[in-house]
Structure 1
Amino acid sequence: MFYWLMKYVFVGPIVKAIYRPWVTGRENVPVTGAAILASNHLSVIDSVFLPLMLDRPVSFLAKAEYFTGRGLKGWATKWFMKGTGQIALDRSGGPASEAALNTALQVIGRGDLLGIYPEGTRSPDGKLYRGRTGIARMALEAKVPVIPVIMVDTGTMMPIGQTLPRVMRVGVVIGEPLDFSRYAGMEGDRYVLRSVTDEIMVALQRLGGQEYSDEYASTVKNRLAAS
């Protein structure tokens, strides 16, 4: 109930009226049944605009820090994330990451849509970076299609470090589903997981035309921070 109030009564109508977002390829999202939405990640507001442009709820894996902030901003962020069905993702690895994976598989098991950012973090410079193989493992274990999604201009609207979004139009481009059923039963093969992940990233690059860099976005962020 809270999700529908947020989307259709409180946040949704206001955001759509102010920013007038557009979407193409909405017909590529199935009306029913589970699927993974694999999106590029340019801004924190990607998790706001993509669900608003779809008729079905989407649960995103969101970094755990969004749920632990302090003060008014931290409370508001946590309230919004929980209200829109986002899942806290502990990126420290080990049992925490395994628990997040299991929660994500439960979402898919209910027949719902799961949103994932394969790059693992926001792009520091607008490029598309190497994907993490967790998305491939989920897709193969759950036996669901992966739908590539491109967020357009959200990084310009609200780049990293900016508190409030600029008033401008942003868009969502949704590609055709990717079928990986040919790899059934091979989710334990790391080479298969890398191949599937790379295929997803190629689909994203072709759909959005972003410059691709074959290194992890987190590596680039750490290098920039060190310099």
Structure 2
Amino acid sequence: MGAAVSRWAHRLRTWRPPAPPLPDHLEPVLRRDDPEWFARELAIAAAPPWPVWLFLLRRCSWLVELFGRVEVTGAVPEELRRGPLLLAANHVGDFDPFVIAVALHRLGVVPRIMATGGIMSAPVAGPLLERAGGIRVDRGTSLARHAVRVTEVALVHGGHVVAYPEGRVGLAPDGWPERGRTGMARLALGVRVPVLPVSQWGAQEVLAYANDVTKLRTLGRSLRRRPVLRVHVGPPVFLEDLEVGRVGDAHRARMRIAAAITRGLVPLRAAGRPLLPDPTRPTTGVAAFPGGIVPDDVP
């Protein structure tokens, strides 16, 4: 019996849906020292959306709404939905990727979400997210460049990629978005695709920042209270006057992206509850625009 359970557990840990074949034109991208998942993610990025992912978006959004009422404002113009998109979102908690996926699908977007390597390596959930178009980001390691390459392939093939410019769950004490890193800004300037700001508020109430016991407590509380999970998609960020590689332009781009997200967040926070205290969340971050006040001279 013990051996059978061990075999079953091993199969569960190593299971993954079959990936599409890697297109011939992407074969030269691979190198011998690339991680084993890189070829899979390239193939998935170049392929149309996975039918199972489309089914889940269409039929299973009610699972997310068990924990809160999803309200979506803004729009994604049809002409933008037909081409590649970068969607820049503030990161308020571990539950918000599910909220964003549901919200964006309502607006006609099929999201491919960038996620940390830890989530992508998890049994079952990781392989499912990868096959759905999730892009692994191993921040602070030599493998981080692979995420850029996969994202480029996804965008060249018309994908809608959701990225978190902050690079982590935001840790500013007042809950406003941090200015983040320049990686997404450089990518947007290099590939020249529209960047839409995605502002969200409420998902931080569903799952606490850390501590499994606290996460379970807040999850159960959300089942009872069903907080409002607000998402707003704004117009494209103006980046046309900036160039990749020109000194200072990557910084200007990231500040404009942070400004657009912050502006969209102001009415969401005004309509929702204030930031609830979470003793498990550090407050070591610095908001790009404290108090949600964006200067008029920022485009």
The TM-score bracket by the shorter chain reads 0.7 to 0.9
Cα distance 1:15–1:196, how it changes in 2: closer, same or farther (>3 A)?
same
The answer to whether the aligner puts 1:144 opposite 2:193 as a matched pair is yes
Distance in 1 between the 2:179 and 2:256 partners?
11
Which residue is equivalent to 2:125? 77
Cα distance 1:80–1:146, how it changes in 2: closer, same or farther (>3 A)?
same
The answer to whether the aligner puts 1:102 opposite 2:159 as a matched pair is no
Distance in 2 between the 1:141 and 1:12 partners?
34
| Identity in percent | 22
Between structure 1 and structure 2, the one with the greater Rg is: 2
Among 284, 287, 290, the residue aligned to 1:220: 284
Amino acid at match of 1:81: L
Is the 8 Å Cα contact of residues 90 and 261 (structure 2) preserved in structure 1? yes
The answer to whether the aligner puts 1:5 opposite 2:55 as a matched pair is yes
Amino acid at match of 1:176: P
Is the 8 Å Cα contact of residues 37 and 116 (structure 1) preserved in structure 2? yes
Is the 8 Å Cα contact of residues 84 and 156 (structure 2) preserved in structure 1? yes
Listed one character per residue, the Cα deviations across residues 138-192 of structure 1 (whole Å, up to 9, x for unaligned) are 1111111110111111112222121463232211111111132222xx3123511
Is the 8 Å Cα contact of residues 146 and 177 (structure 1) preserved in structure 2? yes
How far residue 127 of structure 1 moved from its aligned partner, in angstroms, is 3.0
Which residue is equivalent to 2:253? 196
Alignment root-mean-square deviation, CA: 2.5
State the secondary structure of the residue aligned to 1:61.
strand
Which residue is equivalent to 1:113? 160
Question: Which segments of 5 or more consecutive residues in structure 1 lack a partner in the other structure?
Answer: 70-74, 211-216, 222-227
Among 154, 159, 165, the residue aligned to 2:208: 159
The answer to whether the aligner puts 1:59 opposite 2:59 as a matched pair is no
Is the 8 Å Cα contact of residues 176 and 262 (structure 2) preserved in structure 1? no
Q: Scaled by the length of structure 2, what TM-score is found?
A: 0.63
- Superposition pairs of residues 128-139 of structure 1, within 5 angstroms: 128-139=177-188
Query: RCO higher in 1 or 2 (8 Å CA, sep ≥ 6)?
Result: 1
Equivalent pairs counted in the alignment come to 207
Question: Which segments of 5 or more consecutive residues in structure 2 lack a partner in the other structure?
Answer: 1-50, 270-280, 286-299
Amino acid at match of 2:182: T
Listed one character per residue, the Cα deviations across residues 34-84 of structure 1 (whole Å, up to 9, x for unaligned) are 111000000112211112122221111111010223xxxxx2431442253
Is the 8 Å Cα contact of residues 64 and 98 (structure 2) preserved in structure 1? no
Which residue is equivalent to 1:44? 94
Moved over 6 A (4+): none
Among 235, 241, 250, the residue aligned to 1:176: 235
How far residue 218 of structure 1 moved from its aligned partner, in angstroms, is 9.5
Amino acid at match of 1:155: Q
Is the 8 Å Cα contact of residues 28 and 176 (structure 1) preserved in structure 2? no
Is the 8 Å Cα contact of residues 121 and 127 (structure 2) preserved in structure 1? no
Distance in 1 between the 2:247 and 2:167 partners?
18
Cα distance 1:188–1:27, how it changes in 2: closer, same or farther (>3 A)?
closer
Distance in 2 between the 1:13 and 1:79 partners?
22
Q: Scaled by the length of structure 1, what TM-score is found?
A: 0.81
Amino acid at match of 1:59: R
Which residue is equivalent to 1:72? none
Cα distance 1:151–1:27, how it changes in 2: closer, same or farther (>3 A)?
same
Distance in 1 between the 2:187 and 2:96 partners?
21
Amino acid at match of 2:194: P
Distance in 2 between the 1:104 and 1:90 partners?
13
Distance in 2 between the 1:62 and 1:219 partners?
22
Cα distance 1:61–1:12, how it changes in 2: closer, same or farther (>3 A)?
same
